[in-house]
Amino acid sequence: MYARIAGVGAYLPGSPVSNDELARRGIATTDEWIVSRTGIRARHLAEDACATSDLAFEASRRALESAGMAASGLDLIIVATTTPDFIFPSTACLLQEKLGNTGAMAFDMQAVCGGFVYALCVAEKFIRSGSHKAALVVGAEVVSRILDWRDRATCVLFGDGAGAVVLAASDAPGIIATVARADGSQHGILSVAGQVRGGRVRGDPFLRMDGQAVFKFAVRVLSEIAHECCARAGIPPSGIDWLIPHQANIRIIESTVKKLKLPMDKAVVTVDRHGNTSAASIPLALDAAARDGRIQRGHKVMLAGVGAGITWGAVLLQF
């Protein structure tokens, strides 16, 4: 029994907000400064009334349509997010209601930018065990809600969005190998350290990042985890048809591709269109490449993500 991707979907809220538009809004930056350092040209920002579960619903609806499946056929729903609608109940349960599903197991996965890969690893194990037949795995974020818009080093990097896949039991090969890791000793280089206590926010409620430390860590572990995942599958990195890394920074992507000795045209890059959307970035890129025809059935695709925690992981699948 395998777990195979049966459908993909994605959603970006509103119109793209360009780097020049951020400058017009009073942020001390320029298009040249952002593009030269990150490769980001635009991002999407959700309106105040739009919640993470709303973005997740739109991406999920498209993924279910792509799979030719009704929401009632799902028996597992996992939402990877670091910006849930509420402290509780889970965003997955809120999404379940919006989809009209009753009875599926539903929970959130919190591994920040590594969340989608983590969630896919978990969902695959449920299906391979035989306990579940059809899973909806979503990465959805409204990162704009936790940004300090006075800090140009971070606020220009992120955006909002959602991506989803339907994972179904199959006799044909699907997910071939998975690897997931974490190193909690590195939690201080990327965090939102605030908390709610006694009805008040205690600590810093904004995203803070040591950019240099995160860059160095990400460049090292993304290539290492991809190599490890390939080794588990018994193939060399050259056997990968497509690499879909976390979409955070074009220079991290380029370094990862170089370390894997792959041509750059084997990497799916969408960071320029939506910035770093945390757990949504990998499924957004997967959806883009599947819908424009680059990724075809039978292609071997490597997903590799890294996020705060620090968490990181990789999934090798046959699409």
Active site residues: 113, 246, 276
Place of tokens 């000793």: 185
Tell me if 115 sits within 8 A of 80, measured CB to CB. Answer: yes
**Phi, psi at residue 256, to the nearest 5°?**
-65, -45
| Calpha distance 56→264 (Å, rounded) | 30
User: Measured between alpha carbons, how far is 231 from 318 in angstroms, rounded to an integer?
Assistant: 15
- Residue 207 backbone dihedrals phi, psi, to 5 degrees: -70, 125
Contact at 8 Å (CB) between 316 and 304?
no
Residue that is written with structure tokens 């279910």 in the block: 64
d(CA 301, CA 291): 15
Dihedral angle sign, alpha carbons of residues 56, 59, 62, 63? negative
* Exposed / middle / buried, residue 254 (Cβ in 10 Å: 0-12, 13-18, 19+): middle
